[in-house]
Structure 1
Amino acid sequence: MQTIVFIGSNKSGTSREALNISTSMGYYTVLLTNRREFIKQKDEFPEVHRIVFIENLKNKEEIFSIIKDLEEDRKQICAVISFIDPFVSFAARISEEVGLFQMSTDALAIMEEKTRFRDHLQTLPVSPKFTIFQGEKSIQQCIEENHSYLPLVLKSPVSNGSKDVLLVETITEFNEGLDYLNKKFPSIPVLIEEYLIGTQYLIEVIVKDRQISIVAIIEQEVLNGDRFIITGYSYPAVVENETLVELQIAVASIIQALELENGTCHLEMRLIDGKWKLIEINPRMSGGAMNRIIQEATGINLVKETLKLFLGQEPFLEATKRTHVYAKFLTINSRGRLIKVTGKTRALNYDGVKEVYVKPRKGAILTKPYSLGDRYAYVIAAADTPEHAKDIAVAASKEIKFYLEPL
């Protein structure tokens, strides 16, 4: 039976949708996970035919052993895929070694680590000013050399979902931020970037045989604060034609510099005084509700088309409909244990609302947002204008209430 092996998955979002779509496409779906609770909760994964626990998801020998066992069980391995950081390039290398469709493994690996892609792309006009604190100098020396450029953004090179990404505006914050990241990741450098003020956009890209397809351009709304939490997504982004052409040129320059011939990625870019600057790039499509946002707006199921790419097939990326979609994500301002959530049904009853999702279960510990994982619900709405879609989503989201027991 034709089989797809997935390395890692979240309980929801893009990676979970990939499991469902794999099975709906007729494939025997295998999930390799390092999350013990998934094994205990395997009944909650009805779309997965086999779940296998692996302590270390980068244990190549163990994964090859599992693949061999599957083949001996008359399973034909068609793809080994991951939608999860930091296993994307690793899965691609496994695919390469077992003779499956060849992805651009080196390019994917560069994108997985922030200092690596910054170094690789530093000569491009899209690159912001940056430096890397290696720990060879003292924190004080680093601050003395860079404090005149404040405000700055500090990042752990291995962070994702806005984890360990800090805006520092004063020397005190700079010192505290460097100290925090240095202690949390003692053997890992800190990326220090200029802080760029401008509208932020997310760009979804698929590349097949060097042909670059910009599938979606989404305007993002960032929560005020120092953690860069995205709370709103508007698709399609409203961009002037000349600016759009410049964006296409900028994206092509990045893809070509990375030598990405086959693969997917999403970029976060800001428009600064008419010039595009690269904030982030990741070697996979965006997580969370991104697939549903794009599908509601265009009819394109980007997860399915991504799977087809990894299977060596031709993705179909032509829109079958065009509408405006807005996704509103919810955070909270305090910490506590979740007692209950109300308002989901009322939110769903708003005209134009396509989906309402609440992530945490009763008893979960909730907190104010430190990463994208601390967004606890979302509402997706569609309408004939971007303003109307946003109005619907925001109004419906106000129906959702979290009741917490303070800790």
Structure 2
Amino acid sequence: MTTLDIAHDKQSTAPAGALTAPAPHPLRPSLVGLTRPRLMQALADFGLPEKQLRMRAGQIWNGIYNRGLTDFDGMTTLSKELRQTLAAAFDISRLEVVTEQKSVDGTRKWLLRLPSAVPGVPGPEIEMVYIPEEGRGTLCISSQVGCTLTCTFCHTGTQKLVRNLTAGEIVGQIMVARDALGEWPDSNRNSDDRLITNIVMMGMGEPLYNFENVRDALEVISDGEGISLSKRRITLSTSGVVPMIEKAGTEIGCMLAISLHAVNDETRNKLVPLNKKYPIRELLEACRNYPGLSNARRITFEYVMLKDVNDSIEDAKELVRLLKGIPAKINLIPFNPWPGSPYECSDWAQIEKFADFVNRAGYASPVRTPRGRDIMAACGQLKSETVKKRASERFREAAQPTG
């Protein structure tokens, strides 16, 4: 059910134009994640007079995204009657936090449960990670439950796709993180400095396979009267869905990251099977044509360092050759192991040699410091806890003697 499907009854005794609260629906549609036009449309379909739509939408928007409210009671700019009526029809609550873990390095990971389409049956789960650094804090959020891409170095890729996240579920991750970090104006935190300064869509899933919901969510996140994160501080990472890259630049306009990880099609076909459909040459051509590309808006190329697979100096030379003419920086990512992973991380000395060559060629190539490894929160390690549990249960069952 969507917001536009909500039914509302008007009693014959009610004054003309008055709204009467419908019976609460067990699956009330959420207003979180609706763009401003869609929020106004939802309120119009609900029955609010046209002349009130812009004002009421602004009041609700402020309550959700500026104050972090989770119910309508706190929206005192609305009448008590209207608050009760809206509360019976719509939901603005949070995603359920199943677990929260904190790494020894300060990284935090949340397992979140999404709403279920079937009453009484637990909804699917996703993971989200917050990485604090000096002067900034990066929130890594998910776009899908599971993933279709089966990248062989990625733990998430071993989990089948369950479904896309809605725009509200994407935005909802940020709301949960701001709750936990005390980042709302009404919180008791003393500092005015933002803790979440950057958003990266590098969690579970391929964002460009959930384009409309990702686009709408990032429009809400970057709105100047709400969460207000600049699109220069939002990075969308894709494994290379070539036909959608230009569209992302035009309709979303955030920073772009490419999960490259190899310099030839033979290797990349194994690491990122999507390469068989969109090979490196086509991918890099799409990058060269990315709308708004400049030295100020460089593309980040992510390159996981895998021992004896893609980490030779010859690979570094070919990487530099491939990216010639593209304003770019190269993120070198030490491989983060997970149980059953078929790869090893490159030796640190080899990573440094690789980085030094790329740096001397004129490309910024920071080596990403592994964060949150002790809680399986590092890059490529995210996977729903329920899926991990089911896998461990299957292993134990298989180990049980028979007969």
TM-score normalised by structure 2 residue count: 0.28
Larger Rg: 2
Higher strand share: 1
